[in-house]
Amino acid sequence: MLRVAVSVREGAISSSTLLKRLRSGSRKNATYTPFREVGRVIRTVRLPRYLTDAPLRRRVTAATNKVESFNRFFQWVGFGNPASSPTTTP
């Protein structure tokens, strides 16, 4: 993981290329596996904090509501052409 971070910082690999590799989700990909495990650790550490911290839950809920409101507005604006809405899948 450190080698990947240094490669991104030095410009040897672009962040978009790294994200494409990680998005593939291949268990054979040597880059994917450690990043998946780090993600699991981060979720495990943050979940108890989220559950016990009421102000944090309120902030997360407020941010989620803003995003959902924007998505509903975007769907309303694009009502004539549902395919133009980013939340609908073809």
66 and 40, same domain (yes or no) = no
- Give pTM, 2 decimals: 0.46
pLDDT the model gives residue 18 = 75
73 and 44, same domain (yes or no) = no
Residues 6+ apart with CB under 8 A from 24: 32
Q: What percentage of the chain exceeds 70 in pLDDT?
A: 82
Rounded to the nearest 10 degrees, the angle between the axes of helix 54-77 and helix 32-52 is 110
- For 16-68, the pLDDT digits (tens) are 877 777 776 666 777 777 888 888 999 999 999 999 999 999 999 999 999 89
Name the maximum alpha-carbon separation found in the chain.
49
47 and 64, same domain (yes or no) = no
- For 58-85, the pLDDT digits (tens) are 999 999 999 899 888 888 887 655 555 4
45 and 12, same domain (yes or no) = yes
Instruction: Please check the confidence at residue 87 and state whether its pLDDT lies above 60.
Output: no
